[in-house]
Amino acid sequence: MSKFRFIYSGLIIAAFMLFHTQLSIDLAYAIVYGLGVVLLINIIEIFISDLRSTKILSGFIGGLIFLLISYFLTKTFETFFLNDAVKLGFNFIFGYIGIFIGYKNYYLIDYLFQKLIRKDKNYKTKITEIPKILDTSSLIDGRIYDIIASNFIESKILIPSFVLKELQNIADSHDHFRRQKGKRGLDILKKIQEQKNNEVEVVDIDFPTLNNVDDKLVEFTKQVGGKLVTTDYNLIKVAEIKSIKCMNINQLALALRQTIFPQDEINIFIQKEGKEPSQGVGYLDDGTLVVIENGRSLIGKNQDIVVTSILQSDSGRIIFGKIKQ
């Protein structure tokens, strides 16, 4: 805008100098007239400088409209203009006002065009779907089902056959706890297949040259151009090295956990006794441990407490509170 201002000012002075004979004024007066007009323009700009940002087309339209207004004003009130030089200066001033106002209010033109276009067309936003690939850890974890059921995922869900095979192997394990994890993963997969929010497909694919399931997941995700959904920290690191995008369920859970500050009041179910004789222990919905002073006698009850302090550690956070009086 500063370049335009400089060029426009030079144009005004040059016009007065070039046409000073036709305007019946001396060259010196022509320069004075030109400088006077430039000064007036800068004063006007100060008064309207708080207008919003703009575009060139709007400035052109604004300048044209104001020049037409200026022409009709000079014709209607011709007796008030002393000579042609004053008329020319008046036209320049009005032209600049029009350009400046139009330039600063381009959104009015944009809005008009949008209204005209929308009358003829019914737009639908097209979203390029990026498929989500679930790994074994996300299925065993189980929270992915709640995320899908809450409509936070808007795309097709893919489960490679080698992930299903790994789940089956875990479910057939001789170790009791490992077997329970495998069965839980299969149950979650069945629930995901039964939900109606997202299309789910078990893809019959394998990579015989790759022995590690994590490597197969990275390769499959790369081939389909999808995002890998997991809770496995090491898998996330490997995927990031190979420029594969991941959705970390643990990171999402941390981002959504309840924000607590000292002196906040929360209602907590006291589940068990704490390490100290008088302490009771409860948990927030996100699993955060809450230690309640003098809460042991209230085990098995919901109780309003006042947060006294919060301890943040590498393994998570611990909230300390006391019974609300």
Domain of 172: which CATH number? 3.40.50.1010
**Predicted confidence (pLDDT) at residue 228 exceeds the cutoff of 90:** yes
Are 247 and 139 within one domain? Answer: yes
Report the DSSP pairing between strands 157-160 and 200-203: parallel
Mean pLDDT for the stretch of residues 178-182: 92
* Residue 95 sits in the same domain as residue 144: no
Q: Among 203, 233, 255, where does a domain finish?
A: 255
Check whether residue 250 and residue 143 sit in a common domain: yes
Distance separating alpha carbons of residues 98 and 100, to the nearest angstrom: 5
Q: Are 162 and 175 in contact (CB under 8 A)?
A: no
Cβ(217)–Cβ(235) below 8 Å: yes
Domain assignment of residue 266, yes or no: yes
Total Cβ atoms within 10 A of residue 198: 16
Of 204, 233, 255, the one marking the end of a domain is 255
Q: What is the mean pLDDT of residues 103-125?
A: 58
Helix 213-224 and helix 161-171, axial crossing angle in degrees, nearest 10: 150
Q: Which of 60-69, 189-198, 246-255 has the highest mean pLDDT?
A: 189-198
Q: How far apart are CA 35 and CA 17, in angstroms?
A: 11
Tokens (6 digits) for 133: 């690939």
Question: 82 or 8: whose pLDDT is higher?
Answer: 8
pLDDT score, position 189: 94
Residue 124 maps to a domain: no
Percent of the chain with pLDDT over 90: 29
Clarify whether residues 217 and 274 are in a common domain. Answer: no
For residues 192 and 290, state if they share a domain.
no
Q: Provide the pLDDT confidence category of residue 101 given band limits of 50, 70 and 90.
A: confident
Instruction: Write out pLDDT tens, residues 136-146.
Output: 999 999 899 99
Classify residue 127: in a domain, yes or no.
no
Q: Where a domain ends, among 58, 90, 118?
A: 118
pLDDT confidence bin for 16, thresholds 50/70/90: confident
Range of the domain at 181: 132-255
Domain CATH for 264: 2.40.50.140
3-state secondary structure at position 111: helix
- The tally of domains found in the chain comes to 3
Q: What is the predicted pLDDT for the residue at 25?
A: 79
